[in-house]
Amino acid sequence: MAESLDKLMYSFVMEDVLKGFFIYVPPGYVACVYDLGRGVLKKVLTPGLHFKIPFWQKAKLFNTQTLEYSISREFNPENERAMGDIPIAAVSEDGKRLGVEGTILLRLDVHQIPAIWQTIGEDFIAKIIRPTVRSRIRMVASRFQMEGIVGAKRDAVETELKNELERIFYSRGIYVENVLLSEIASVQEFSRTAEK
């Protein structure tokens, strides 16, 4: 009994104390460090094992891989931090109401992650990405006729949308890799499918 208690205490001390000294950064991620004396440090920790001062420094992992921002009917809007959104309602140049689904591929700039964490916070999706994507999709859709958006001018719509998003996101440390629209239909068609 005493031996198992000793093992339990040893594992507790090893886990708590040693874990406080080190931060493990897996591939595809970087870590930002918040120091109680200096705030968010400008240098990011790349993949590997790094030393940190326990109780004085806290590390936060950020994904630097391509992030998929999916706009779809399957998205659950109750989770504000999730990467995605429900179909976005817009009005075309000829006054037709439409719903837009698709995928936007984004990536965080490794060197600007400390600034993102410092100025925007961890919930940059709800604060920056979601409102910007909604606004720019509505704006770009209003420049095209419904037939053009659905048909022959679809790549022009995607290109213009990518340019608009890059214009806003680039200065904030977010790269737009691609915009892929999957379904564009009248709002009535979206509501009919939702009822089924």
Q: 12 falls in which pLDDT band (50, 70, 90)?
A: very low
How far is it, in rounded angstroms, from Cα 130 to Cα 135? 9
* 111 pLDDT above the threshold of 70: yes
20's torsion region: left (phi>0), alpha (psi -120 to 50) or beta?
alpha
Q: 195 falls in which pLDDT band (50, 70, 90)?
A: very low
What is the model's pLDDT at position 69? Answer: 94
Segment 179-186 mean pLDDT:
87
How far is it, in rounded angstroms, from Cα 149 to Cα 138? 12
Looking at the fold, whether 13 and 93 belong to one and the same domain comes out as no
Residue with tokens 């976005």: 88
- What amino acid occupies position 63? N
Segment 11-30 mean pLDDT:
72
Domain boundary among 43, 63, 83: 63
Domain boundary among 40, 63, 86: 63
Contact residues for 2 (Cβ-Cβ < 8 A; gap 6+): none
What is the model's pLDDT at position 1? Answer: 54
For residue 32, list its beta bridge partners. 60
Q: 6 falls in which pLDDT band (50, 70, 90)?
A: low
> Positive or negative, the Cα torsion across 110, 128, 125, 90?
negative
Looking at the fold, whether 10 and 96 belong to one and the same domain comes out as no
What is the number of structural domains in the chain? 2
What is the model's pLDDT at position 106? Answer: 95
Instruction: List the structure tokens of 1.
Output: 């009994």
For residues 68 and 32, the answer to whether their CB atoms sit within 8 Å is no
* 124 pLDDT above the threshold of 90: no
Which residue range(s) make up the domain with 12?
A: 2-63
Looking at the fold, whether 37 and 72 belong to one and the same domain comes out as no
Domain boundary among 63, 83, 108: 63
103 three-class SS: strand
Q: Model's pTM, two decimal places?
A: 0.79
Looking at the fold, whether 181 and 144 belong to one and the same domain comes out as yes
Looking at the fold, whether 110 and 157 belong to one and the same domain comes out as yes
User: Does residue 6 or residue 160 have the better pLDDT?
Assistant: 160
Q: 15 falls in which pLDDT band (50, 70, 90)?
A: very low
> 28-32, 71-75, 158-162, 184-188: which range is least confident on average?
184-188
Calculate the average pLDDT of the chain.
84
Segment 103-125 mean pLDDT:
91
Segment 173-193 mean pLDDT:
80
Looking at the fold, whether 179 and 103 belong to one and the same domain comes out as yes
Q: 152 falls in which pLDDT band (50, 70, 90)?
A: confident
